[in-house]
Structure 1
């Protein structure tokens, strides 16, 4: 096998292999050549070449999102590393194990005007679980690293000290690499390993010169203190209005038997977001459809005594506003890692997995007689009927386009959503329960949605469909500059010629200032990008064209496909705002 000659590069690669890191996303560069040589010549790794570092990081994030295991991104020194930051922040807030490995210049070349140098150690300080700043290897035939060496009195002492320093540096680097990868595995988040290399960078050998020690990650701790559990059981059994709110959640994380117990209890409402990936006929998806038309008295009727939350960040601004105004007496959040006080009333952080908690909790609680669920079940059925009526009345628009698109996505496939208006529209519809739904809700940015979806698709055997807005798609168009896109990947672009969500928000519309700086009006399309990157392109300008396009959109093909749906930007906001009035 071929290895880089530099021992530090060998150490990084061998510890990645030992810890089960399998996917390596590499952006081209010279300073990272030792890492590129090592990873790409080792059959234990699947390597991907993605030129644009921002896209590369989101592509890796998509792989990690699918596999739930550390996925590495490798770049050269300098500003290349900074392009990873949006994906690092997303991984930090979405609990996705992203392993950032950056090559760096030696210390003596930093801050002296050398090319491609910035201050790389701790560059992600506010959005990283751990930063491992490695030390450069010392070479026996040079004393370049003078800051590491004392003044020697004899050659013998000099060599002994040099060998001791080499051993000390190797041990330090092994500890730091082990710690970084273990934290990414155990705590599900991004870590950064900064690796300084001196030239020559391209020398190769056929035998390893290091055998790094492998430190296993700590075992997961799930137990809940008995006094906390008993307090929860007692309060739950005495409450007649309990609201369970589920945010971003991986598919198949919660056993169906626990969901069935929650569904049977008439004192419990389970509100689920589109990204929750949990379903039951008695649960309440499409939260905004339920609560947007409520008045003050109805909000008081909905106000829970206990709010139990699990999963990641919440999309619905309306549920956040409701629970911040009509606070529950108790708010419990279940998570292995962190508890956000989203509603400013957090009373218990139950530090375990939701599945483990329910396995211990739900067998001990009693079913409470209550009218809470039946009352709101009638509201849900009323809203659904009015929703269907409204769709029959409206013109072709964003709203009707989403309705048509969501009905046609094939069973047992993956749906990736971009942020802003896309995920919010989808929240208004009851989705096919066989779909797996993902969205970058950690930072909720429009950047990187396409690259993330492509990364996910490359690691998944299931067909993946991305629904995205025009601005999000154009913003991340370099994501299509990727040779790893599967032929069954599909993109649907809702093109309303700008940032349509700003037409729904308060403010003056239809002014030059609004068009230029808020809506960012444009006349661009995806057609030429599809021609350049080898996508099968089709478009729809009305309901009939959309129906016709969707009939063959998911069939097998020799290249990925993109469908661009053009909607009337001056009608979309009016139709959406009138929807909430109509369904009341």
Structure 2
């Protein structure tokens, strides 16, 4: 049996032991030893073939977003490895577990000019949790530890990608084969410290008791019930980002949920400022919420690792777990007698006023009207993936009291690339309906992802907002200064790309509703398994006055108590 086959068998046995089952392979020659051993033990894994490494990286990211387990990526040597880079960076900054295995030529080929030979050692070094370079050797006693560390350092806080660069020499295969053992034992998890340092508890209480504050929640990995319990104890409003999944109807009944923060916190009014901010999860989509947070005297971050999304705020206190602080606060209820009811009523009324103003002043923008209709008609338990740029900002504006839908974004680096591939990965791992909401440029950016979707998606509907290019650029101040070439070089319209013909060429179901009633019918009755594309055409002139609508929304909100 070849030495590398012995090593690979040990590695795969460890993956099985620690319940890592998802593997995404892109074809190539140098990765033959890995692929050969995986496919001979295919019954132990969920193996997917994705032709393009760039798409494969995002596809794996999508699977891990749902499973919260590491997905293994495997590719050949050379430029194939570089195509993983965008997905690895997104994985690192959004804290999603991946195990990336790049196949390589033996070390002595480096710096020789040999074909398909790249310096792959630690090639992703700024965007990974850990790296290991597996050499050409007959030793096997170190492989088990490499496997253990790759799983542990990928799946435990801070979750993220790890990179193994595995050198192989020819011959890649022989006729020997040993079936690997199936011995599923456990997940590799940290033992959480459940006792809070007394000094940290005192500092928390000093910054919270009898202080005016809010809990700002971005995308997070905690239980919503824990966040709601914390809000109930301290009796503070929750400023809920659209990706927090806290904008559910029943949450509003016993909590003060602010879902219009992007509008409210644009106003310079001292009554909406806080003494203390408790920040859970990632930064909010709205920069205006973040700017308001800067004004607080105290900043408490609850994040399970040292990689805190703190931007430019001072970190006055960092807690790793909600469980820890909740356990302590249950014995401190008598300290929270100042129940802030008046302030909660003020914020609740303010949120209602802002919601009324949004509904009144944004009714002229077709994209907002259509998006509301989509969300109101989504099948129960659907997953809604919001693209970056304008789609996530519109979602932030309209999302209010929405039940039985899970909202997901890609806000690690907030790029527009790889959206279709990520959605394909998510759709491949769930039987629920998956909806991807993205702009026309983001759709074009990941056309290769349509091949990945055709091969792997179960029930994916792609909603393409065709507004003639990147209309978010019309909202930026430089648009007024660069009029002569702004459309061509920034908005980048694309009249020569026909989505209907493109869909037909790939045998993808295509819809192009021109009325809201048609859109509702499509969502409720006409979308089918595998993949659907709904193209919605919007006038680009709708966005020229977008900022004016926002201004009117704010002007119509009465900030008086």
**TM-score higher than 0.5 here?**
yes
Q: Per the alignment, in what secondary structure is the counterpart of residue 219 of structure 1?
A: coil
1:115-147 deviation per Cα after TM superposition (whole angstroms, max 9, x unaligned): 11111111011110000111113xxxxxxxxxx
Shift, 1:87, TM fit = 0.8
**Larger Rg belongs to:** 1
User: CA RMSD for the aligned pairs?
Assistant: 2.6
Aligned match of 1:492: 463
Aligned match of 1:41: 40
Q: Per the alignment, in what secondary structure is the counterpart of residue 535 of structure 2?
A: strand
Residues 381-530 of structure 1: matches in 2 within 5 Å?
381-392=352-363, 394=364, 396-431=365-400, 432-482=402-452, 483-509=454-480, 511-523=483-495, 524-530=497-503
Give unpaired runs (5+ residues) of structure 1: 138-165
Aligned match of 1:238: 210
Distance 1:489 1:209 in 2: 35
Residues 9-158 of structure 1: matches in 2 within 5 Å?
9-42=8-41, 43-137=43-137
1:247-274 deviation per Cα after TM superposition (whole angstroms, max 9, x unaligned): 1124xx32536515625755x1210101
Shift, 1:28, TM fit = 0.4
Distance 1:72 1:514 in 2: 42
Q: Per the alignment, in what secondary structure is the counterpart of residue 552 of structure 1?
A: helix
Is the Cα contact below 8 Å between 1:78 and 1:117 reproduced in 2? yes
Q: Does 1:207 align with 2:178?
A: yes
Q: Per the alignment, in what secondary structure is the counterpart of residue 397 of structure 2?
A: coil
Segment drifting more, 434-443 vs 10-19? 10-19
Distance 2:48 2:230 in 1: 45
Q: Per the alignment, in what secondary structure is the counterpart of residue 469 of structure 2?
A: coil
Distance 2:414 2:425 in 1: 18
Distance 1:382 1:95 in 2: 36
Aligned match of 1:145: none
1:274 to 242, 259, 266: 242
Distance 2:110 2:80 in 1: 16
Q: What TM-score, normalized to structure 1?
A: 0.86
Is the Cα contact below 8 Å between 2:53 and 2:80 reproduced in 1? yes
Distance 2:162 2:532 in 1: 34
1:402-461 deviation per Cα after TM superposition (whole angstroms, max 9, x unaligned): 222222222221111111111011000124132111111001000111111110111112
Distance 2:457 2:180 in 1: 39
Aligned match of 2:351: 380
Shift, 1:468, TM fit = 0.6
Q: Per the alignment, in what secondary structure is the counterpart of residue 508 of structure 1?
A: helix
Q: Per the alignment, in what secondary structure is the counterpart of residue 170 of structure 1?
A: coil
1:141-169 deviation per Cα after TM superposition (whole angstroms, max 9, x unaligned): xxxxxxxxxxxxxxxxxxxxxxxxx4xx4
Aligned match of 2:231: 262
Q: Does 1:291 align with 2:265?
A: yes
Is the Cα contact below 8 Å between 1:21 and 1:70 reproduced in 2? yes
Distance 2:348 2:117 in 1: 61
- Identify if the C-alpha distance between structure 1 residues 254 and 357 changes in structure 2 by more than 3 Å, giving closer, same or farther: farther
Distance 2:17 2:283 in 1: 33
Aligned match of 2:317: 348
Shift, 1:552, TM fit = 2.7
Question: Number of residue pairs matched?
Answer: 537
Distance 2:412 2:63 in 1: 16
Give unpaired runs (5+ residues) of structure 2: none
